[in-house]
Structure 1
Amino acid sequence: MRSFLGKEIWVCFFLGVSVYLGLATGSVFPVGDDALFVVFIAFIYFFSMLLAVQGLGVFARFRDYFFLCVPVSFCLLVSLFRAEEPGYAIEKIEGAILITLIVGPLLSFLMGRIGKDGAIFVFLIVALMFLFLTVLYKAKFGFFDRSVRYFINGPIVYGWIMGYCAVLAIYLLNEGHNKKVLYPVLIAFVFAMLWTKSKGPVVAFSAVFLVVSYKWLRIKDLAVIAAAFALFSYLYSGDIADYFSRFSVFSRLIKGDVSEADAGSISARLEMLDVSLRIFMEYPVWGVGIGNWKHFSEMEYWYPHNIFFEILSEMGIVGLGVFLTVILYLFVRGGWLSKISIIYFVLCSSFSGDLSYLRFLLVFSMGFLIADRRFYLERNDKCI
C-alpha cells in the first residue's frame, strides 16, 4: 500500500468516494432526492470517468464487466417489456446493472493503480468518513431511532455496507497490515452494523466470520475481538436485552412459533415466499415481469425481501437459472475474497433487499475476480 501514499492520494480518494456513493445510492441520478445532491452525484461520476479514461486499460476493465453482465442484462431487458411500471423496473435495472457497469470499472481501475489491498484500504477510509458523518447526523435527528435514515441510506443498505467493510478489514488483517489501525476499524464497522439492527447483515457477517476465522484469523486476533465485545456488553448491559429483542424472530423460528409479529415478522416473510411460489407456478418460464410482484401478490409489500424468490417470480426459471449460473461461475473462478463476498451478499439478499441490491455482489465479486486474473496473467508474463 505504500504506492498509495504518493502524489495520487487525492485522485485515489476521489475514486473511492465515487465507488462508495455509487453503491450506497444505487443510482446515477437519485430519483426524488434534493436537486443539489443530484448535481453533486453527477459531478462525482463525470469527474471520476474523466480520471479513469486517462488510465491505460480502463476500457478493457469495462469490457470485462460488460461481458460478465450480459447474461443477467438480457434476462432483465426481456422482463422489462412486460413491466406494468417501466419507471420502477428501470430503477431496478439501473441499480443492478448500470451502477455495476459504472462503479465496477472504477473499482477495478483503482485496484490497477494501487493494488487490491490499496483499493480496499481507500474504500475503508471513505466508509469511515461516511460513518463519522452518519454518527453526526443521527446524533442530531435520533441516534437510536431506526426510522431515521443513516445519513444516505436506510438501515438495511447501511447495515450491508458496514458488515462488508468489517469483512474487508478482517481480510487486511490476514494480509499482515497494521493491526493497531485495523483492530479499531474492524470493531467500529461491526458496531455500526449492529447499530442498524438489520438481521440480514448480522446473520451474513456471523456466518462469514465463522468461515474466515478458521482461515484468516489467529487466536490472538479472536481474543482481541472477544475482549472488545465483552467490554461493550458490560458498558451497555442495560440496552442489550432491548437490542436483541429485534432478533427474537430467530428463536421463534426455532420453536416453530410464527404467530408473533414484529417489523421483520417471520409469518410475513413466509407469506411473501408462499406468494412468490404461487406466482412462479402460474408463470413458470419467464415470470410476471420485473417490478410486477406487488401487482400479483395482493400484499402491501413491493417485493418479497428475498432476491432468489423475487427473480423466480418476476423472471421465472430462466431468469433464476441464468442468475445462479453467473453466481456459480464467479464463485468457482474467483479467489477466496470473491467467494467470501458472494457468500456474504447472498446471505444478506436472502433476508432483505430487492433486485437492485445485486450491484453489491456483482461489483465486488467481479472486481476481485478481474484483479486476481490480471495479477496472475501479469505474473506469468514476467516469468516467460
Structure 2
Amino acid sequence: MKINTKQVLIFFLILTYLSGQFDLSRLGIFNIELEVRYVFLFATILIMLIICKSDDKFKPINKLTNFFFITSLLYLLLLILSFFNSNDSTVASDKIEHVMFLVVLIGLTYLSIRLFNNMDELITTVMKIFLVVSLFYMLPVLISVLGGDSRGSIGVGGPNVVTRILFFGLIAAIYLYMYYKKTFYFLIGVLLFISIILVGSRGGMISAFICLGILMLANIKKENFMKINYKLLIPIFMSLPIVYFLWDYLAEVYTSRFLGLVIDDLHYAGRDTIMENSIATIGENPVWGHGLNAYAVEIGGNYPHNIIIEVLLELGVIGLFVFLPLIIMSIVLLRFLKISVICILPFYILLVSMFSGELFDFRYFFLWGLITLPLLREPPLKNNLQEDNNIYLKSLLRMNQQNQR
C-alpha cells in the first residue's frame, strides 16, 4: 500500500490528539519533562508546510463544517477572554495553555481535511490509524485480565481514556469491515467490544451501549433488515470461541462494574457532591459564569466531570448559547448514520463527557465533528453496505443482552 504525504500528515495529527498530556518523564527513560503532544504538533505543522509548498490547494468544504469550525473557535476565544473574569488569575492561567493548544489543533484539523480530494481516502486513513492504535490498547487490557486483574488496564492511562480509544477502534472495525468485507475486522471488532466491558468504565460502557443501540435503530426500518446475510455467518461463528474463552472474565467485570454499581446500587463516586457544589456556584453568576478554570478557582479540585457544567461554570448562559450549536450538530449527525457509522462518534464523545473528563479530554469532539460533517455533502462509502452493518451490530448487542441474563 502506497502511503502519501497527506496520510502521514493525518497520522501525526491523530498522534497529537492521542498523546493528551503524556510526559516523556513518565517512561522513566528520559530525564526530561516534555509533553509529547508538542513533538507531534511540530511534526504536523512541518508536514503541512511541506504539502502547501508543493502547490497543493485547500479544497472547498460545506457550510456546516465551516460553521462548526468557526463556532468552536468562538467558544475557545470566549474562554480565553474569560480569564479576566476570574477571581484568581494564577489558577485560571493553568488552563490557558490547554485552550490555546486546542485552537491550534482544531485549526490544523480543519486545514488537513481540506487537503483531501475526497472524503473516502480521508476517512479510510483515519479509521485504519485508530484501529491500529486501539490494538495497542486492547492487548494490554486482555493480558491484564487474563493475568488476574479485576478489570482491564494498560498501566499508563485511566479507564475513561482507554475506553474512548477502544470505542473509536470498534467503530473503525465496523467501518473497515463494511468497506473491505474481511473477517479480520469483524473479529477485531468483537475483541474491542469485549475489551470495552473488561475495562469497566461505567460511563464508557453506558455510552457505548447507547451508541450501538442508536446505530441499530437507525437502520431497523430497512426492508432487508431481517434478511440473513450468509457472508456474515462465517465471521460470527469464528467469533464464538473468542467469546466463550473470555466469557467468565467478561461476566465478572460486567456484573461487578455495570450491574453492581449502576443497575443494582448506583454508585456516584463523588459525582453527586461535585454536581451539587457546581450547581450552587453556577447560581451565583448564571449569566457570565466565573471565568476560566472556574471549578478549580471557586470550588477546588480539577474539573466537574461534565462538559455542560464546565461550560456554565466558566461562561454561564452566554457560553452555553455559543456551545449549544455544537451539541445540536452532533445530534443532527445521528440522522445520517446510513451514510456512515462514524457519524455516531461526535455524539459518543458528548455522552462520555457527561460522566467524566474536562475540556481538553473533549478534544476528540472537535476532531470527529470536523471529519464527519463534510460527509453530509459526500458519502464516504463506495456502495451501500448497511445490511452488513446491521447484522454486525446486532450480534454485538446480543452479547450484551446475554451478559444481563
Within the candidate set 221, 238, 250, 1:240 is matched to 250
Cα distance in 2 for partners of 1:108, 1:189 equals 31
Deviation at 1:37, TM superposition (A): 4.0
The answer to whether the aligner puts 1:280 opposite 2:282 as a matched pair is: yes
- Give the alignment partner of residue 25 of structure 1, picking from 10, 19, 23: 19
8 Å CA contact 1:91, 1:356 repeated in 2? no
| RMSD (Å), alpha carbons | 3.8
Residue 313 of structure 1: CA displacement?
Answer: 1.7
Shift of 1:168: 3.6
Deviation at 1:324, TM superposition (A): 1.1
Q: Deviations over 1:25-52 (max 9, x none)?
A: 246x969775494674244223332244
Say whether the 8 Å CA contact 1:286–1:316 is kept in structure 2. Answer: yes
Q: CA deviation at 1:88?
A: 2.2
Distance 2:346 2:35 in 1: 35
Aligned to 2:103: 97
Among candidates 358, 371, 389, match of residue 354 of structure 1 = 358
Q: Is the 8 A contact 1:13 1:126 kept in 2?
A: no
Q: Please give the secondary structure, in 1, of the residue aligned with 2:360.
A: helix
Tell me the TM-score normalized by structure 1.
0.75
What aligned pairs does 1:142-291 form with structure 2 within 5 A after superposition? 144=149, 149=154, 153-174=157-178, 176-215=179-218, 231-244=241-254, 245-247=256-258, 248-252=260-264, 257=265, 265-266=267-268, 268-291=270-293
AA partner of residue 286 (structure 1): W
1:199: Cα distance to partner? Answer: 2.2
Q: In the aligned structure 1, how far is the partner of 2:55 from the partner of 2:155?
A: 34
- Offset from partner CA, 1:260-295 (integer Å, 9 cap, x none): xxxxx4151122111111111011112112212023
Q: Shift in Å at residue 351 of structure 1? A: 1.1
Q: CA–CA distance in 2 between the matches of 1:26 and 1:137?
A: 19
Q: Per-residue deviation at 1:306?
A: 1.0
Q: How far apart are 1:154 and its partner, in Å?
A: 3.2
Alignment correspondent of 1:294: 296
Contact 1:96 1:355 in 2 (8 A): no
Normalized against structure 2, the TM-score is what? 0.72
Distance 1:52 1:286 in 2: 42
User: In 1, Cα distance between the equivalents of 2:34 and 2:43?
Assistant: 14
Residue 210 of structure 1 aligns with an amino acid whose one-letter code is G
Could you tell me how far apart the structure 2 residues matched to 1:238 and 1:187 are? 16
Residue 383 of structure 2 corresponds to none
For the 8 Å contact 1:22–1:103, the answer to whether it is kept is no
- For residues 141 and 212 of structure 1, the distance between their equivalents in structure 2, rounded to whole angstroms, comes to 30
Task: Please state which structure has a larger fraction of its residues in helix.
Answer: 1
* Cα displacement (A) at 1:347: 0.8
Q: How far apart in 2 are the matches of 1:321 and 1:363?
A: 21
Q: Distance in 2 between matches of 1:286 and 1:56?
A: 43
Q: Is the alpha carbon distance of 1:39 and 1:340 closer, same or farther for their aligned partners in structure 2, counting shifts above 3 Å? A: closer
Q: How does 1:320-335 map to 2 (within 5 A)?
A: 320-329=320-329, 331-332=331-332, 335=336
Does the Cα contact within 8 Å between 1:159 and 1:196 map onto a contact in 2?
A: yes
SS in 2 for 1:251: helix
Q: 1:226 to 1:82 in 2, by over 3 A?
A: farther
Q: Decide which moves more: 212-221 or 273-282.
A: 212-221
- Sort the Cα spacing of 1:68 and 1:318 in 2 relative to 1 into closer, same or farther, 3 A: closer
1:226 and 1:104 map into 2 onto residues whose CA distance is: 38
User: Any idea what SS the aligned residue of 1:266 has?
Assistant: coil
Question: Which residue number corresponds to residue 70 of structure 2?
Answer: 67
Quote the Cα distance in structure 2 between the aligned partners of 1:185 and 1:307: 31
Q: What is the CA-CA distance between 1:148 and the residue it aligns to?
A: 6.2
**Equivalent pair of 1:331/1:339 in contact (CA under 8 Å):** no
**Contact 1:330–1:365 under 8 Å retained in 2:** yes
Extract unaligned runs of 5+ from structure 2.
27-32, 381-405
Further displaced range: 315-324 or 235-244: 235-244
CA separation of 1:59 and 1:233: change in aligned 2, threshold 3 A: closer
CA distance in 2, matches of 1:320, 1:36: 31
**1:61 offset after TM fit, Å?**
6.4
What letter matches 1:366 in structure 2?
L
Contact 1:335 1:369 in 2 (8 A): no
Does the 8 Å contact 2:83/2:292 carry over to 1? yes
Q: Which deviates the most, 13-22 or 217-226?
A: 217-226
Q: What residue identity is the alignment partner of 2:352?
A: C
318 and 148 in structure 1: CA distance in 2 versus 1, 3 angstrom threshold: same
CA-CA distance at 1:346 after TM superposition: 1.2
Structure 2 partner of 1:45: 44
Query: Which deviations, in whole Å up to 9, do the C-alpha atoms of 1:351-384 show, x marking residues without a partner?
Result: 11111123211221222213543789xxxxxxxx
Query: How far apart are the structure 2 equivalents of 1:88 and 1:372?
Result: 38
**The residue matched to 2:167 in structure 1 has which SS?**
helix
The answer to whether the 8 Å contact 2:289/2:313 transfers is yes
Task: Return the match for 1:122 from 122, 125, 136.
Answer: 125
